[in-house]
A = this chain, B = another copy of it.
Amino acid sequence: MRLAFALAAASLAAACTPASQEAAPEPSARYTFWRPAPVEGATEPSEVIARSTAADWRAVAPDNLLVMELADGKRVVIELAPDFAPVHVANVRAFARAGWWNDAAIYRVQDNYVAQWGNGDAEVALPQGVVRTPPPEYERDLAGLPIRPLGYPDSYAPMVGHAGGWPVAWDPESGKAWLTHCYASVGVGRNLAPDTGTGGELYAVIGHAPRHLDRNIATIGRVIEGMEHLAARPRGSGDLGFYAAERGETPVAIRSVRLASDLPEAARPRYEAMRTESAAFSAYVTGRANRGGSFFNRPAGGVDLCNVNVPVRRAQG
């Protein structure tokens, strides 16, 4: 039996009433029921990682590693995504080299949304090399990306998957792809549209993936270590989670934000991320979509993009 669900006529009745395929409206206005096909006995994600070989991993380049040291001694490390937002990423590197965030703070923590940091004033003199008005780097050409389709439907985009280590969505008709907002994604704070932000104010997602931000904000990377030092912060009681000084809420001071490539070689943290083009990663996705073992009763047979976090580890050896 094939069932079609007409979005345009969404109603209580429509949900459970099969409609003939012939009568279905055009693709832009409907989708076909997708039925998960669970895989019994899929390899557990942790086991996939344990069995992986060195060839399944890539080193994270030191000039794509942003190391944020907080005044309380905690460290947050971010991988940058220059292939998706090159001008914003170049700005972020220039800000880091200029010590822009060395007196900055985490001044906003909104529950189930974002933690945001900066110095709260991007209008002052910008460091050398920072472009004041970057282009809207909200999507890029699909061509040239080593796309690995997720294999399951998405609630926001025609297609989703991974490319070069990043969660992405794309539209085969427009030929455009874009980074998605998942837990730990890092984006560029900005003013009202059409402002695109310089990169001086950044945020990380600390809740359920706010995918409605996709293609509305420049996404420049993701936190690969220390995410809990952002997510476990007290929420701000001001509008949008800003810390309210009048209620004694104190922004968290940042000691420094530097590129790993600007640190002495011996002091650089080094990471590896699983290659999303590898067979190991495909097995990992299958494992995430079909959790098994002695705890689960039934594998889901599906997974959403933001529940497949690309494995990252400290560099081996």
Interface residues of A (CB under 8 A from B): 1-3, 5, 7, 10-12, 14-16, 18, 26-37, 109, 111-112, 136, 138, 142, 146-149, 151-159, 161, 170-173, 182-184, 192-194, 207-212, 214-216, 227-228, 231-235, 288-289, 291, 294-307
Contacts and interface: CB of A to CB of B under 8 A. Distances in A.
Nearest to A26: B2
Contacts of A301: 156
Contacts of A214: 300
Contact of A36 (B18, B36, B156, B193): B156
A225 to B, nearest CB: 11
Chain A's interface: helix, strand, loop or mixed, by majority?
A: loop
B159 A5 contact: yes
Given A147-B16, A183-B207, A234-B232, A156 B29 contact: no
Contacts of A111: 227-228, 231-232
Contacts of A35: 27-28, 158, 171, 173
Contacts of A235: 228, 231-232
A155 B304 contact: yes
A283 to B, nearest CB: 13
Given A208-B182, A231-B231, A233-B232, A298 B27 contact: no
Contacts of A37: 7, 28-29
A295 B30 CA distance: 28
A211 B307 contact: yes
26 contacts: A7-B151, A11-B149, A12-B146, A15-B147, A15-B172, A18-B172, A27-B32, A27-B34, A27-B35, A31-B34, A33-B172, A34-B153, A36-B157, A111-B232, A153-B153, A154-B155, A154-B302, A156-B303, A193-B296, A208-B306, A209-B304, A212-B299, A214-B300, A216-B291, A231-B235, A232-B233
